[in-house]
Amino acid sequence: MAEEKTTTEETQVAEAVQTEKKETPKQDPQEFLKNFDWEKYEEGIERVEDSKLEEFEKLVEENFVDTADEEVVEGTVTHITDREAIIDINAKSEGVISLNEFRYNPGLKVGDKVEVLIDIREDKSGQLVLSHRKARTIKAWDRVNAAHDKEEVVTGFVKCRTKGGMIVDVFGIEAFLPGSQIDVKPIRDYDQYVGKTMEFKVVKINQEFKNVVVSHKALIEADIEEQKKEIISQLEKGQVLEGVVKNITSYGVFIDLGGVDGLVHITDLSWSRINHPSEVVDLDQKLNVVILDFDDNKSRIQLGLKQLEKHPWDALGDEIKVGDKVKGKVVVIADYGAFLEVAEGVEGLIHVSEMSWSTHLRSAQDFVKVGDELEAVVLTLDREDRKMSLGLKQLTPDPWTDITSKYPVGSRHKGIVRNFTNFGVFVELEEGIDGLIYISDLSWTKKIKHPSEFVTVGDTLEVEVLELDVEGRKLSLGHKQTTENPWDKYEEEFALGTEHKAAITEIVDKGAVIDFNKDITAFVPQRHMEKEDGKKLGKGEEAVFKIIEFNKEFKRVVASHTAVFREEEQRNVRAARKKAAAQAEESKPTLGDANEQLQALKDKMEGKKKK
């Protein structure tokens, strides 16, 4: 009985122990550390059973992480202060990380999982110091390469702006974001992206130099490409769409139609003439445009803006008719005329011939300039072809109306030299009255090859009216006629047979040239340059010359030196003959005697010639 009782008691104790073990929960290491007084333990005040210490060490070994150097572990954010984040990595204590390491992730919050690396196991205050940046760096290249290979979307923090783009923090690596890869539309303010967290695609990796290039545009283009296909499939001529001004150039405006770009040429922006598209639209402006045309694959789309408004010519009032006076502003000038905008989008051409009554036409720039506000007369009006011609000169009386009384033939006036031609000079007597002086009527004596040798543009010149053609509106003028013709006086002074002393000015092919005065230049034929001794006159040699030809009309004078002494010889021969005849009459000599005397005189003359 006693043995049975003992056995029963042992069994009950064993069962009680088992029950106690089942009912006693497994001790929590964190709870143990919280309640454990290490100071009393170290001072020996409070003893801890060895079994409990062994149990605690076992629990720590099972539950806490003991990381090796350079080993990355995952932790949980348990608390965030103004400067630090407290991270639980399931170690013996929690660690701290500066919030600067989470700049790329401004949305960090309690409960987030982050990768960390033990930087300092125990600082001066016994604190575990962790590094998120170093952990990211260790894993970064693996992640970047994986993202590039798998074409995954990554999140990055735009740190700052740099030349040509931005610097982006991706997994702790500084990647380059080119300016052209930020968005599909041109970026005008790069600074707006600094400090933002955005999604990117890794587009290029240089393993040798550890360079990474990312693109945000690539993500947008993928979405836009789908939209683009859908929009292009629905495009039709005449369709009106809403778009945004994407870019402005000198020749037109590019409109973003939602992934598809179209061009509004400058001529399709407004019915009025404009110098630059920026006068009509602004960047990023939303507006409606109409599809005018596109190519076969719809890659080039021509848009219009002005076509959405009624044509100004259709709204032009019926009260305007030929002969009416209209006011407007000069919008364009060409050599042939100027365009006057009389209403928005309605222009009329003022041809240069309608700017002045003058028949001597000038450039339109001589009369008007862009921006001038003018009044003009409607000359022609074609509403169907939308054309209008205007005139300025019609606002003043035609100066040719009383031309015969103002400028009769023979009257003298003063005018201004306006232009040259090879054959003469145009002189303006008054606005609308121009006359032509032929080159032959510029001077009585000067031989002029071109009018510029005689006058310059702007000179005031005295003229005489030579001819007047009222129907042809032509006036012939002369300048030399305002002075006395010196050749009338020279005709008498240099009459045939007169002798004048002068020097040879120039030797030419067929003779020589001599200047008697500033107006009279005579030509001496070669055979008339012979001197009495048989030699020829040279340049600069002075002698007496006889005028053998004088033509006032053609201003031609021919002189001879040889004729001077030949004439003297002939006079001597005539005198000798006369004397011989007289002596013969007195002495009645024989015919033979007379012949001998004549022969002697002849031999004398021939002897001088041979010398």
Residues 314-325 pLDDT 10s: 777 777 889 889
Q: Please name which of 363, 362, 368 lies closest in space to residue 335, comparing C-alpha atoms.
A: 363
Share of the chain above pLDDT 90, in %: 20
Whether the CB-CB separation of 428 and 434 falls below 8 Å is answered with yes
Query: 403-482 falls under which CATH superfamily?
Result: Nucleic acid-binding proteins (2.40.50.140)
Average pLDDT over residues 526-541: 87
Domain boundaries defined on the chain: 2-63, 73-137, 151-220, 234-308, 312-395, 403-482, 567-610
Listing DSSP states for 220-276 in one string gives HHHHHHHHHHHHHHT--TT-EEEEEEEEE-SSEEEEESSS-EEEEEGGGT-SS--S-
CATH of 312-395, one of 3.90.180.10, 3.50.50.60, 2.40.50.140, 2.30.30.140: 2.40.50.140
Q: Say what the pLDDT of residue 530 is.
A: 87
Question: 422: which DSSP letter?
Answer: S
Residues ≥6 apart with Cβ < 8 Å to 181: 165, 203, 213, 214, 215, 216, 217, 218
More confident: 537 or 318: 537
Tokens 């201003």 found at: 555
Third-level CATH fold of 73-137: OB fold (Dihydrolipoamide Acetyltransferase, E2P) (2.40.50)
| C-alpha torsion angle, residues 212, 217, 221, 227 (rounded to 10) | 150
pLDDT at 554: 79
Residue type, 461: L
Average pLDDT taken over every residue of the chain: 80
Residue 551: phi, psi to the nearest 5? -120, 105
Mean pLDDT calculated for residue range 490-506? 87
CATH of 234-308, one of 3.30.465.10, 3.90.550.10, 3.40.50.720, 2.40.50.140: 2.40.50.140
Structure tokens at 541: 């040699």
Inter-helix orientation angle 591-610/562-587, to 10°: 160
pLDDT tens string 564-600: 887 766 666 666 667 666 666 666 555 556 566 667 6
Q: What homologous superfamily is domain 151-220 in, according to CATH?
A: Nucleic acid-binding proteins (2.40.50.140)
For residue range 268-284, what is the model confidence (pLDDT) as tens digits? 998 888 889 998 999 88
